[in-house]
Amino acid sequence: MTQAVRHDSMRARNLGVVLAEVRRSGPVTRAALAEITGLTKTTVSKLVADLLEAGMVAETGAASRGERGRPGTALALSGERVAALGLEVNVDYLSACVVDLTLSVRLRRTQAVDNRAASPVETLDNVRRLAREAVDEARSLGLVIAGSTLAVPGPVDDGLVHSAPNLGWRDVRVGDLLDDLLAPPAPPVRGGPSPQDPAATAPPPLLTVDNEANLAALGELWFGSGRRDFLHVSGEIGVGAGLVVDGALFRGAHGLAGELGHVIVSPDGPPCRCGGRGCLEQYAGQEALLRAAGAGTVEELVGRLRGGDIAALAACERAGHALGLALTSAVHLFDPGTIVLGGVFAPLFPWISGPVRETTAARLTAIRDAVPELAVSRLGADAATLGAAGQVIHRIVADPVAHLAAGGAPAPR
Amino acid sequence: MTQAVRHDSMRARNLGVVLAEVRRSGPVTRAALAEITGLTKTTVSKLVADLLEAGMVAETGAASRGERGRPGTALALSGERVAALGLEVNVDYLSACVVDLTLSVRLRRTQAVDNRAASPVETLDNVRRLAREAVDEARSLGLVIAGSTLAVPGPVDDGLVHSAPNLGWRDVRVGDLLDDLLAPPAPPVRGGPSPQDPAATAPPPLLTVDNEANLAALGELWFGSGRRDFLHVSGEIGVGAGLVVDGALFRGAHGLAGELGHVIVSPDGPPCRCGGRGCLEQYAGQEALLRAAGAGTVEELVGRLRGGDIAALAACERAGHALGLALTSAVHLFDPGTIVLGGVFAPLFPWISGPVRETTAARLTAIRDAVPELAVSRLGADAATLGAAGQVIHRIVADPVAHLAAGGAPAPR
DNA sequence: CCGATTTAATCCATTTAATGGACTTAATAT
DNA sequence: ATATTAAGTCCATTAAATGGATTAAATCGG
């Protein structure tokens, strides 16, 4: 249900609107913000004052437009204080990044480790260590980590990882395991009657967990080549897809949407672990592709393709055709604006994009004005980690008050 | 961009919240509304007073809960005043219905006419006549028609029908042609300084136009067996699908989402008018199905099936299998809660549902906890017309002020 | 059967946050 | 140097919600 608006939520909303507009319109003056949002100059000034105090926006000097009249002071997002931590567990690595409010990446860390061999608890201990280091380093840069998202390769429901087959995880509850991570360095003494009222609303969770394919799509949206409406294909061991519509992720009724890997390419094709036959994964999944090309790793495959290896080229051709067929079905159903190929398909793009384009074009042009453009991901393996951090930033911008209420960032002094 | 909230929009929003809650919770007291919405009793009382005056809710007597304390007065949506007109142009009929705020159907009219033979202007003239009759009759029931939606069998963009191949329409602009239809019977004299200020915001369009498959899905949501998250398959000449997620229609980047008919069932199957091969439409479209069964009409086919005709049964079996394959892909991508079969598939449900269920179950159970339930549409051919009217009602409930501002329904006297 | 209790709804003074116009400030144009 | 223009702030006002007190209409208990 849509929530009722009260005085405080009106203000909260307007703070979010102003902050989002500052992000959208680059450096803007208060007057321009008033014009755009429809609020009065007075109101905008008051809201901006709060955002300045919270360290979320900063004045970046005079905005002289060459016209006459008093020049305004330009406002822009400030990357000095508020930041978010993005984390990722994948099959053979852990990674972390810290992103500030302007979506600048302030630091990255990656750690190669075989997480299939380790238990979930061990792996999460490693994540915690990595995250702790990143948080400490971010603090030394003067940043306050406002929240964190962890990307895992499998469907997630409210902090519970249902199954991550490639990690060997099943029903792992992650939320609690990392919950104390972001506690402030000197936690306020509990027990004594706190001076502020003990806010009736619980603070938002500091750590959320989400599916890696979804977060990679969001990473592409905020840091890469995605533009409001696109389908991001993240071929790893499986083949997943994240659909972004109007800047928001499409998740489906149970959060399982986007399983492109099991779209049917040929109903009587090779059997698949899902119980079906002829799923895309059997043609264009990493394993199938490497097997068909006779290569051991993606790097090796790329090397062979560069060398003009016939078998490798033929394997890519076939995989691209299959991917094109699955994407044809996906386009008919989703009607995306663009298709972005990421994951293993990114390095293979030069060889795979041709067959994909041919196949989709042949089957789409007759009944659609515009066949979705095919683009390559610019992010590679970082997409999910960046998307994880970006999601936190996005939430803060949409509702800065929730962040402030959670003890976010009062003016330091 | 999310809009800034001001005092007036806060009130508008809260009116909508209260009205939506009255609809959702059946008869409720003011006190219960205050509890649910988080607003105070005082505020709820004031909002309810406005809604009562506008004739949108009505007091339906005392709500004695058998407990002690003063019993509240029950409030419910009122179907006495505000209503909406749903219109549909299809290949061989026109239809209209009037639905009141409680979603009760107050009147229906259908007119058999071959619209392929007529020009768009002629057809729209007929629509106008039908609509005029319906509006007049509704007025005689004391209803005020607050708006109207027209369903057409093809993609629509802001009043412009891009193409409706089965009608022979191409780029027909419908909005203007019917725009004067809903003007009040005695239009207020223009020119003289009107007593109210000439509201800066333009009134919402009285007539909107939308795709028939989309509206059928919404019809199913509001009047049929749809439940918040489902995929509605509306097999007519083509095979379309409307996806409802969280009570809202999914449209895609260009409004072309849900083209289930061209999802690939077999990549080397029979050629399709879309330029591809093996699209679902070639297996389960009305034409293909009737041809395979050797029947001329759906009624004839149903008759044969009832009689146990082997060829007809086999044709349904094959069509059901193909539909199951396409739905498997759709489930992997959309992750719907339920699948509702409508259009021609509704009368064929007893024969087609078995093969569909078998095919989807075989390919989904291994990697999904829940295979979407398969249901039959309860609405039949009325779905789109009802959805069209329901859409108008839905908009009014979400934002009653826009309706009131547009001269909706001041208290009659 | 009457008073106590309980819950519904309204009344009224108060609070919050936005508005709108006047005012101040800092530029360019003449 | 002065006029003009636009940005930003100040302040009294207004819209709409809040919270507590009050009135209304039931049931419960003796």
CATH no. for B82-184+196-213+384-405: 3.30.420.40
Q: How far is CA A120 from CA A113, A238, A382, B30, in A?
A: 13, 20, 22, 51
Among A252, A275, A326, select the one facing B334 at the smallest CB separation: A252
Between CA B69 and C1' C3 the distance (Å) reads 15
Determine the Cα–Cα distance for residues B404 and B401; give it in Å rounded to an integer.
5
- Residue among B404, B28, B17 at smallest CA distance from A9: B17
Q: How far is A188 from chain B (nearest CA, A)?
A: 31
The nucleotide whose C1' lies nearest the CA of B10 is D16
Closest chain A residue by Cα to residue B363:
A276
Predicted model pTM:
0.88
- Indicate if B225-378 has the same CATH topology as B82-184+196-213+384-405: yes
pLDDT in tens, A238-258: 898 999 998 899 999 988 899
Q: How far is A237 from chain B (nearest CA, A)?
A: 15
Query: Which protein residue lies nearest to nucleotide D23, measured between its Cα and the C1' atom?
Result: B70
Q: From residues 8-67 of A, list those within 7 angstroms of strand C by Cβ.
A: 8, 10-11, 14, 38-43, 46-47, 62, 64, 66-67
Q: Which nt is closest to the CA of B65, judged by C1'?
A: D26
Instruction: Please tell me whether any atom of strand C lies within 7 Å of the Cβ of A337.
Output: no
Which chain A residues are Cβ-neighbours of B46 within 8 angstroms? Answer: none
Instruction: Kindly determine whether the C-beta of residue B173 is less than 7 Å away from any atom of nucleic acid strand C.
Output: no
Phi, psi angles (nearest 5°) of residue A241: -145, 145
Q: pLDDT tens digits, residue range A110-146?
A: 999 998 889 988 999 999 999 999 999 999 999 999 9
Question: What's residue A187's pLDDT?
Answer: 38
Mean pLDDT of chain A: 88
Strand, coil or helix: B75: strand
pLDDT tens-digit map of A23-49: 999 799 999 999 999 999 999 999 999
B245 to A250: CB separation less than 8 angstroms, yes or no: yes
User: What tens digit of pLDDT does each residue of A344-388 get?
Assistant: 999 999 999 999 999 999 999 988 888 899 999 989 888 999 999
Nucleotides of C under 7 A from a protein CB: 5-13, 15-22, 25-29
Comparing CB atoms, the residue among B10, B333, B364 nearest residue A334 is B333
CA of A38 to C1' of C13 (A): 31
Domains of chain B by residue range: 3-77, 82-184+196-213+384-405, 225-378
In the predicted model, residues of chain B with pLDDT beneath 70 are 1, 175-205, 405-413
Q: If you write DSSP's letter for every residue of B222-236 in order, what string do you get?
A: HHSS--SSEEEEEES
- Residue bearing the bigger pLDDT, A301 or B201: A301
- Report the 10 Å Cβ neighbour count for A66: 5
Distance, CA of B175 to chain centre: 18
Minimal-distance CA residue of chain A relative to B240: A333
Write the secondary structure of A289-339 as one string of H (helix), E (strand) and C (coil): HHHHHCCCCHHHHHHHHHCCCHHHHHHHHHHHHHHHHHHHHHHHHHCCCEE
- From the C1' of C28, which residue's alpha carbon is nearest? A68
Distance CA B150, CA B82 (A): 18
The pLDDT of residue A63 is 79
The first and second tokens of residue B182, run together, are: 């809903």
Return the half-sphere exposure (C-beta side, CA atoms, 13 A cut-off) of residue A212. 27
Q: How far apart are CA B216 and CA B380, in angstroms?
A: 9
* Cβ of A190 near strand C (distance < 7 A): no
**Which residue shows structure tokens 């979400």?**
B398
Task: With beta carbons under 8 A apart, name residues in chain B contacting A1.
Answer: 17, 20-21, 24
> Residue written as tokens 């003063």?
B70
Q: Nearest by CB to B5, which of A5, A328, A333?
A: A5
A33 Cα to chain B: minimum distance (Å): 11
Question: What confidence tens digit (pLDDT) does each residue in A61-75 have?
Answer: 887 777 788 999 999
The string of DSSP codes covering B339-367 is EEEEETTTTTHHHHHHHHHHHHHHHHTTT
Contact state of A253 with B245 under an 8 Å Cβ cutoff: yes
CATH of domain B225-378: 3.30.420.40
CB contact under 8 A, A329 and B37: no
Chain B residues whose CB is inside 8 A of the A20 CB are: 1-2
A-chain CB neighbours of B275 within 8 Å are 362-367
Mention every residue, 6+ apart, whose C-beta is less than 8 A from residue A299: none
In angstroms, the separation between the Cα of residue A184 and the nearest Cα of chain B is 32
Q: Partners of B123 in the beta sheet? A: none
Cα dist. A263→A356, B109, B258 in Å? 15, 42, 15
Confidence class of residue A301 from pLDDT cuts 50, 70 and 90? very high
* CA B373/CA B382 separation, integer angstroms: 23
- CA geometry: angle B11, B9, B37, nearest 5 deg: 45
Taking only Cα atoms into account, the Rg of chain B, rounded to an integer number of angstroms, comes to 24
Contact residues, chain A, for B156 at CB < 8 Å? none
Q: How far is B99 from chain A (nearest CA, A)?
A: 23
Does the distance separating the beta carbons of B10 and A367 come in below 8 Å? no
All residues of chain B having their beta carbon less than 8 Å from the beta carbon of residue A247 are none
Nucleotide C17's nearest residue (CA vs C1') is A7
When mean pLDDT is compared over A16-25, A148-157, A202-211, B362-371, the highest value belongs to A16-25
D26: residue with closest CA to C1': B70
Does the nearest atom of strand C lie within 7 Å of B76's Cβ? no
Q: Which residue is nearest to nucleotide D19 (CA to C1')?
A: B40
pLDDT score of B173: 87
pLDDT digits (tens, 9 = 90+) for A332-348: 999 999 999 999 999 99
A3-77, CATH topology level: Arc Repressor Mutant, subunit A (1.10.10)
Instruction: Give the mutation candidate from B18, B259, B333 for the A interface (greatest A CB count, under 10 A).
Output: B333
Residues of B whose CB is below 8 A from A260: 332-333
Q: Looking at residue A86, what is its pLDDT?
A: 97
**Bases of strand D lying below 7 A from some protein CB:** 4-11, 14-21, 24-28
d(CA A370, CA B83): 39
B327 vs A264: CA distance, rounded Å: 10
Distance from CA of B395 to the nearest CA of A (A): 14
d(CA B369, CA B13): 38
